[in-house]
Amino acid sequence: MLRTVSVVLAFLLNIANCEVLVKLPNGQIRGRTESTYTNVTFYAFQEIPFAKPPVGKLRFMAPQSNDNWEGILDCTKQTKICPQINHNDEQENEDCLYLNVYTPVEPSSNSNLSVIYYIYGGSFNHGSNKFDRFGPHFLIEQGVVVVIPNYRLGPMGFLSIQDEVIPGNNGLKDQNLGLKWVQENIQLFGGDPSKVTIIGQSAGAASVTLQILSKQSRGLFRAAVAQSGSALTPWSYQRHARDVAYEFAAEFDSNFTTKNTSEELLKLLQTIPEKDMATVFASFKPRVPGEGFTWAPVIEPAHESAFLTKNQHELLESGDINQVPLVIGICSEEDINKASDLESLKKQGSSYDKDVKQLVTEDLHLTDDDVKAQAGEQIRKVYSDGQFASNLSSVVKFQSDNSFTRGTIRFAELQSRLTDVYFYQFSYFGELTFAKEIYLPGAGKVPHAGDNYFLWTKMNRSNIHAYPDADALTSQRYVKLFADFSKYLNPTPEESDLMDNIVWPKVNATHFWYLDIDENLEVKLNPKGEAYRGWVDVYDSWGVKPFDTY
């Protein structure tokens, strides 16, 4: 009893000083107290190391668990983010594998709260877990613990020679090691390691769904949320990683060719100064064709620590995945921002009209130009009976579907055969969208990432009531849907006035239900119905299996 009292007194003494101490298996850390706009106190710990610094001989290697440290580690501020493209942030540092933990309860309180593990987006090229970008205030008010890791980006995170020397996917392996850290440590922050939900947006959504597909992640989380992306979206996969890697190496040594060994490539790139690496990273444009981002996940050769060794679509169809409940969805027009430049959009439409083969996606695996032309004509008819150039909304809708919508819906459709899946479309546009409203007849209005700051606070803008009432209401709904899903594995466990007594139905074999999140909530059928079914017909008619993306 005396020991318990002394621990509590020590904790309170630290609270009075706005500091909190927590003893982890690796060593002691110091955090700080914060509060939400509604005066809910929470405890913030930034830059907790979860891996050894991936520098020197560990550059391009899978992450390794961190060593112990002496003394008290200051985790009250953010000083490092991973190197990224065209960011020019003084905080960029290869030593970046740290995570942030935010908890609404006293650490070591044995509260067993649900845990949200958030993976940021950014094309696998940029992004970070910064507090001023992903403030946890709204989620904290729902009584969940929030964890946000950094993970390596660009070549540091996704360069691959597709052999065991540099197999690739290090950014995904960073996320995975962070999840293992959560299993071992989150109870010390009041979280329950058996109640972890992973959430991600864009490249983060692709990452979340890749964690679902990977055997390396089994048992590390019990539910998932994917916002605007999946492992099946074309940009989330690099088919030509080895060629890209050798082109990248040649930027530092013009005599370097594919005749050089993998070991020679690794040795060369591990000796390049960080600043030089960053300079080339920013300007590098490989000659290799393809729809995937230059630096993106790959299929690895089979080896002990491989993250992904089979085609994504094939894995999902087989059911050999982490079978966890899933919330997944899209914004109403992911690529509507393309319509901010109508002249460029018209040129793109004219280009499609001149050569419909441009509409044919790489994952159809077509090589014959005549076959591509026939497939392209079928794709054109999905969007327009006439010309793209005279119907600009058809250009935007094609690009939205091709980049985000089709692969996200397909992932939901396939996983719904295995687990509970809840699909949504975010259709509400407001001040919190942080985008210029673009009206294009026939197209939706919410762009990619237009939902994100209804979930997170940006630049400490935690007073939701400073925004229009409809913004505040939509934010409260969006946050509660995700928080309740993390707690109950059901986003609407009971009817409530906040949700207009809506009960969100699951996708099933006969009905593709989805929740349309607008000023009013409405349950609807078949997101992007005719366009999506048109694409399924294209893949069924022309696609060469096995598919990887979709």
**Positions marked catalytic:** 202
Q: Which residues contact 80 (CB under 8 A, 6 or more apart)?
A: 47, 91, 92, 93, 95, 96, 98, 150
Kindly state the tokens that stand for 198: 């992973």
Which residues on adjacent β-strands are paired with residue 32?
A: 19, 44
Residue with tokens 């052999």: 163
CB 480 within 8 A of CB 498: yes
Alpha helices in 57-153 (DSSP H): 137-140
Which amino acid, 344?
S
Which amino acid, 433?
T
Q: What is d(CA 456, CA 136) in angstroms, rounded to the nearest whole number?
A: 6
Of 293, 297, 318, the residue nearest 306 (C-alpha): 297
Q: Is the dihedral of CA 106, 218, 236, 307 positive or negative?
A: positive
Q: Which residues contact 17 (CB under 8 A, 6 or more apart)?
A: none
Which amino acid, 173?
K
CA angle 256, 261, 262 (to 5 degrees): 100
Burial class (CB in 10 A: 0-12, 13-18, 19+), 343: exposed
Q: What is d(CA 190, CA 48) in angstroms, rounded to the nearest whole number?
A: 16
Q: What is d(CA 40, CA 104) in angstroms, rounded to the nearest whole number?
A: 8
Residue 146 φ/ψ, nearest 5 degrees:
-120, 130
